[in-house]
Amino acid sequence: MKVDANYNQTAPYVRVNSKPKAENGTKLYSPTQEKVNMGHESKYSNIWAEIAGEYDIRNASFDELCDISLKLYEAGEISLAEHAFLTFDPSKSPQKIKTNMFLTKTDVNGKRDWIAEYQAKVNMDLKTGNMLGYKNNQRLLDILIRL
């Protein structure tokens, strides 16, 4: 008898009436495939103008960026993953990671040009060959430019 180490036996049990969650009407979460209303009309279609009138993205603190991100997420204009990327604060992480991951300087009031920051991140990712980081940061940059 010949035994192959690559042979995988599956369990013989099959659930009856099992359907994927998406067929049952529930939403499967995927951070990269979540539909976002970039440029489409929604009930919050003027949220971009409201936020742009209230905040200056080229001179905003990290807390203001978090407020902007939360408003866009609650309006359904950005995904949960994009909201998480925009609001991640490495200084509050329990892990030992580099606490200052920003590439641009803040002014004396702790405010920063967030478009320049994400443009610098996009350029750094492209230069180092980090294509996943490039894609994610380019998406975030596109959101910020829209403000």
Range in 15-24, 83-92, 132-141 with the lowest mean pLDDT: 15-24
CB atoms within 10 A of CB 49: 10
pTM score over 0.85 = no
Reading the block at residue 146, the tokens are 């829209």
pLDDT for 32 equals 46
Assign 117 a pLDDT band (cuts: 50, 70, 90): very high
Assign 4 a pLDDT band (cuts: 50, 70, 90): low
pLDDT digits (tens, 9 = 90+) for 54-110: 999 999 999 999 999 999 999 999 999 999 999 988 777 777 666 667 888 988 998
User: Residue by residue, what is the 3-state secondary structure of 53-99?
Assistant: HHCCCCCECHHHHHHHHHHHHHCCCCCHHHHHHHHCCHHHCCCCCCC
Paired residues of 85 in beta bridges: none
